[in-house]
Structure 1
């Protein structure tokens, strides 16, 4: 389990237990003796809590953590199966994709990565809008980020913020914005795309065959999805 995934799981658990008890973040923070800011960051998965803080939060809600193990990345198979049972329109809506795209009008871009795979019907997990944009549009993208409360992922701190926004600067090209997380692939020229339509809307996306060749993360998810299909047919 990666620390990022573990932090997300722990945050979701704390949030779920808090909601079950109809507690506000401030109320839980006071019961556990931590700050409300810490609770908020933990629940968003931006900060992995220490064992002591996690135990305090759970104890304040009269529960405790049970630790178990499972085959590496088994959660992905479960997530793919869960997504496969949902209508595509529902998955697009949950991502807030249209809202973000309606505001990304300052520079040309195309949809790539897992987001492009989703729009082509593959039930793969998507946790950010993934786009490809040209290096020469980098300055316009940076100005857009500045206007929309952009914060770049800081791998050293394990959270967004505290590093340069510009894509030219070293680091992962992922940003938190007022419209959700955006991940960018920078290129000299935009890749070839195909058009897909959903709900009366048109999207320019990188084809699945190209995603498998050029996008390692999306390619691995697509191969996992295909393997599941073959196993079920066998």
Structure 2
């Protein structure tokens, strides 16, 4: 997903309303006169869609959006609460983790950041699959990005594209691929890992304690979630 709060809100509300009406993405696309791929991209929150497109899709559901103003970062609390209320299996279904793992094959890598935290049971938002990759595997990773139709994040444009894929090239290690956004932490050696299992699939992840020490963004979300969870527990205690 994109870092845009608005894109996340639109994605969440559209997915909630569509599923409540028992419609598939294909069925909604037919009602709205757009492609199923467009519906899927909006629900993944890949980018903020145009206002006319948003109105068109919600009108097909017999709904309309309402705009309001709130204090900065209030959305994070709502996002954490919404995620905490959903089963972990459902949260994992939102991510193409299985496909990414299969396509990466035997290339050494670990899941890290918010992705690792989610797999270890923490209800934090994941807007990209985050992996750790060794610098000496950079060529293999670049080949994978080419096959996955990768586009490098271009800070000058504020969008993906126009830059070389190789991690050695200047720029953030962010790519948009056919599987969604991928973010990489390039390192000399992979950190220690643990394996977590969900269903029939195992994932090698950076332990939560290590993620908190090395990833300030994820650590801030974890602290915010723990504060809210502690407040909720205190409020329900006799």
**TM-score (norm. length: structure 1):** 0.78
Asked if the contact 1:110–1:133 (Cα under 8 Å) also holds between the matched residues in 2, the reply is yes
Structure 1: distance between partners of 2:190 and 2:119: 18
Structure 1 runs of 4+ off > 4 angstroms? 7-17, 39-49, 55-66
Going from structure 1 to structure 2, the CA distance change for 1:128 and 1:46 (only over 3 Å counts) comes to closer
Structure 2: distance between partners of 1:99 and 1:114: 18
Q: Which residue of structure 1 lines up, in the alignment, with residue 70 of structure 2?
A: 70
Asked if the contact 1:130–1:184 (Cα under 8 Å) also holds between the matched residues in 2, the reply is yes
Q: Which residue of structure 2 lines up, in the alignment, with residue 25 of structure 1?
A: 34
Structure 1: segments with no counterpart, 5+ residues: 27-36
Structure 1: distance between partners of 2:13 and 2:88: 26
Q: What is the aligned residue count?
A: 219
Asked if the contact 2:116–2:206 (Cα under 8 Å) also holds between the matched residues in 1, the reply is yes
Structure 2: distance between partners of 1:48 and 1:74: 19
For the residue of structure 1 that corresponds to 2:114, the secondary structure is: helix
Structure 1: distance between partners of 2:202 and 2:41: 35
Query: Mapping of 1:201-212 within 5 angstroms?
Result: 201-212=201-212
Deviation for aligned residue 1:13: 7.5
Q: Which residue of structure 2 lines up, in the alignment, with residue 29 of structure 1?
A: none
Structure 2: segments with no counterpart, 5+ residues: 19-27
Q: Which residue of structure 1 lines up, in the alignment, with residue 233 of structure 2?
A: 233
Q: Deviations over 1:57-81 (max 9, x none)?
A: 7499699875422122111111111
Structure 2: distance between partners of 1:6 and 1:170: 29
Structure 2: distance between partners of 1:47 and 1:87: 25
**TM-score (norm. length: structure 2):** 0.77
Deviation for aligned residue 1:101: 0.6
Structure 2: distance between partners of 1:128 and 1:228: 24
Asked if the contact 1:95–1:127 (Cα under 8 Å) also holds between the matched residues in 2, the reply is no
